[in-house]
A and B are shown apart, each in its own frame.
Chain A
Amino acid sequence: MSAVSVQGLSRSFAGTVAVDSLTFDVERGQLFGIVGPDGAGKTTTLRMLAGVLPPTAGDAVLLGVSVAREPERVKPHIAYMSQRFGLYQDLTVRENILFYADLYDVPRGELPARMERLYRFSRLGDFEDRLAGRLSGGMKQKLSLSCALIHQPAVLLLDEPTFGVDPISRRDLWLILHQMVADGMTVIVTTSYMDEAERCDVVAMLHEGRLLGLDSPRVIQDHIEGSLFAVRGPDPRALRDLLRHTSGVRHATLFGDVVHAVTGTDITAVSLERMLIDGGASVDDVTSARPSLEDAFIEFVHAPS
Chain B
Amino acid sequence: MMGASSSFAQSLRRVRSLVRKELRQLLRDPKTKRVVFAAPIIQLLLFGYAVTTDVHDIRTFVVDHDRTAESRGLQEAFTAGGYFRIIGRSDRPADIAAALDGGRAVVGLEIPFGFARDLAAGRGARVQVLIDGTSSNTATVAQGYASRIVQEFGVRQAAGWGREPGGGVDLRARAWFNPDLTSRVYNVPAIIGVLLMLMCLLLTALAVVRERELGTLEQLLVSPLSAGELILGKTIPVAVIALIDLAIICAVALLWFDIPLRGSVPALVLASFVYILASLGLGLFISTVSRTQQEAFMGMFLLFLPVVILSGFMYPVDTMPPLFQSLTLLNPLRHFLEIVRGIFLKGHGFAEIAEPLAVLTTMAVLVLAGATARFRKSVR
Interface flags, B201-221, vs A, CB<8A=1, else 0 = 000000000010011111111
- Are A103 and B24 in contact, with the CB atoms below 8 A? no
Q: Closest residue of chain B to A74, judged by CB? A: B2
Across the interface, name the chain A residue whose C-beta is closest to B17: A102
Q: Which of B10, B24, B221 sits near A91, CB closer than 8 Å?
A: B24
A147 to B216, CA, bound (A): 12
Encode contact with B along A84-120: 1 for CB under 8 Å, 0 otherwise.
1111111100010011101111000000000000000
Q: Which residues of B contact A102 (CB under 8 A)?
A: 13-14, 16-17
Instruction: Decide if B174 is an interface residue (CB 8 Å cutoff).
Output: no
Measured CB to CB, the nearest residue on chain A to B13 is A102
State whether A75 touches B222 (Cβ < 8 A): yes
CB contacts (< 8 Å) of B216 on chain A: these are 86-88
B6 within 8 A of A: yes
B5 touches A72 (CB 8 A): yes
CB distance from A189 to the nearest CB of B (A): 16
Q: Which of B220, B222, B380 has the most CB of A within 10 A?
A: B222
Q: Interface code B174-211, partner A: CB below 8 Å = 1, 0 otherwise?
A: 00000000000000000000000000000000000001
Q: Does B14 contact A103, Cβ atoms closer than 8 Å?
A: yes
User: Which residues 9-56 of B have a CB within 8 angstroms of A?
Assistant: 10, 13-14, 16-17, 21, 24-25, 28-29
Q: With A64-B2, A82-B215, A105-B6 given, is the CB distance from A90 to B223 under 8 Å?
A: no
Q: Which of A64, A65, A75, A154 has the most CB of B within 10 A?
A: A75
State whether A51 touches B25 (Cβ < 8 A).
no
Kindly list chain B residues whose C-beta atoms are within 8 Å of the C-beta of A95.
Answer: 21, 24
Measured CA separation A201–B245 after assembly (Å): 58
In angstroms, Cα B14 to Cα A104, docked, is 8
CA distance A175 to B6 in the complex (A): 33
Please report the C-alpha to C-alpha distance between residue A63 and residue B221 in the assembled complex, in whole angstroms: 19
In the complex, whether B165 has a CB less than 8 A from a CB of chain A is no
Given the interface contacts A86-B215, A88-B216, A105-B13, does A65 sit within 8 Å of B21 by beta carbon?
A: no
Q: Decide if B21 touches A88 in the complex (CB within 8 Å).
A: yes
Q: In whole angstroms, what is the CA distance A76 to B222 when docked? A: 8
CA distance A98 to B28 in the complex (A): 17
A84→B223 contact, CB < 8 A: no
Q: Which one of A50, A86, A147 has the greatest number of beta carbons of chain B within 10 Å?
A: A86
Q: Would you call B1 and A104 a contact (CB within 8 A)?
A: no
Q: How far is the CA of A102 from the CA of B24 in the complex (A)?
A: 15
CA distance A105 to B219 in the complex (A): 15
Shortest C-beta distance, A4 to chain B (Å), equals 14
- Chain A residues with Cβ below 8 Å from B10 are 105
Q: Give the distance in Å from the alpha carbon of A80 to the alpha carbon of B223 in the complex.
A: 9
Q: Are B2 and A99 in contact (CB under 8 A)?
A: no
Cα distance A154–B3 in the bound complex, in angstroms: 14
Residue B225 is within 8 A (CB to CB) of chain A in the complex: yes
Say yes or no: is B379 at the interface (Cβ < 8 Å to chain A): yes
For B221, give the chain A residue with the smallest CB separation: A52
In the assembled complex, which residues on chain A have CB atoms less than 8 Å from the CB atom of B306? Answer: none
Q: Is A78 an interface residue (CB 8 A)?
A: yes
Contact with B along A259-294 (1 / 0, CB 8 A): 000000000000000000000000000000000000
Chain A residue with Cβ nearest B16: A102
Residues of A within 8 A of B1 (CB): 63, 77, 154
Asked if residues A91 and B6 are in contact (CB atoms below 8 Å), the reply is no
Q: Is B81's CB within 8 Å of the partner chain A?
A: no
Chain B nearest CB from A140 CB (Å) reads 12
In the complex, what residue of chain A is closest to B28 when comparing beta carbons?
A90
Name B2's contact: one of A54, A77, A100 (CB within 8 Å).
A77
**Does B133 touch A at the CB level, under 8 Å?**
no
In the complex, A104 Cα to B221 Cα: how many Å?
12
Within 8 A of A (CB), among B270-300: none
With an 8 A cutoff between CB atoms, is A73 at the interface? yes
Measured in the bound complex, the distance between the Cα atoms of B223 and A72 in whole Å is 9
- Tell me, in angstroms, the Cα distance from A50 to B222 when the chains sit together: 6
Residue on B with the closest CB to A95?
A: B24
Q: What residue of chain B has the Cβ atom nearest to residue A73's Cβ?
A: B2
Interface residues of A in 100-149 (CB under 8 A from B): 100, 102-105, 147
Query: In the complex, what residue of chain A is closest to B380 when comparing beta carbons?
Result: A54
**Closest approach, in angstroms, between the C-beta of A84 and any C-beta of chain B?**
4
Query: Is B82 part of the binding interface, using a Cβ–Cβ cutoff of 8 Å?
Result: no
Q: Which B residues are CB-close (under 8 A) to A154? A: 1
Q: Flag if A103 contacts B2 (CB, 8 Å).
A: no
* Contacts A63-B2, A90-B29; A75 near B223 (Cβ below 8 A): yes
Residues of B within 8 A of A65 (CB): 2
Known contacts A86-B215, A88-B21: A52-B224 contact under CB 8 Å: no
Contacts of A53 in B (CB 8 A): 380
Tell me the bound Cα distance from A73 to B6 in angstroms.
9
Chain B residue numbers with a CB within 8 Å of A72 are: 5, 224, 226
Q: A58 vs B164: C-alpha distance in the bound complex, in angstroms?
A: 100
User: Which of chain B's residues 230-254 have a Cβ closer than 8 Å to chain A?
Assistant: none
**In the complex the two chains form, is B217's CB within 8 Å of A73's CB?**
no
Give the docked Cα–Cα distance between A102 and B214 (Å): 20
CB–CB A103/B25 < 8 A: no
Minimal beta-carbon separation of B22 from chain A (angstroms): 10
How would residues 98 to 134 of chain B score, 1 for a CB under 8 Å from any chain A CB and 0 otherwise? Answer: 0000000000000000000000000000000000000
Given contacts A99-B17, A102-B13, A102-B16, contact A73 B5 (CB under 8 A): yes
A-B contact pairs, 11 of them (CB 8 A): A51-B222, A53-B380, A54-B380, A63-B2, A80-B222, A82-B219, A84-B215, A99-B17, A103-B14, A103-B224, A104-B224
Closest CB pairs A-B (n = 3) = A86-B216, A86-B215, A102-B17
> Which A residues are closer than 8 A to B by beta carbons?
50-54, 63-65, 72-80, 82, 84-91, 95, 98-100, 102-105, 147, 154
Additional A-B contact list (13), CB under 8 Å, known A52-B379, A100-B223, A147-B219: A52-B218, A73-B5, A74-B2, A76-B224, A78-B222, A80-B218, A82-B215, A86-B215, A90-B25, A90-B29, A103-B17, A103-B220, A154-B1
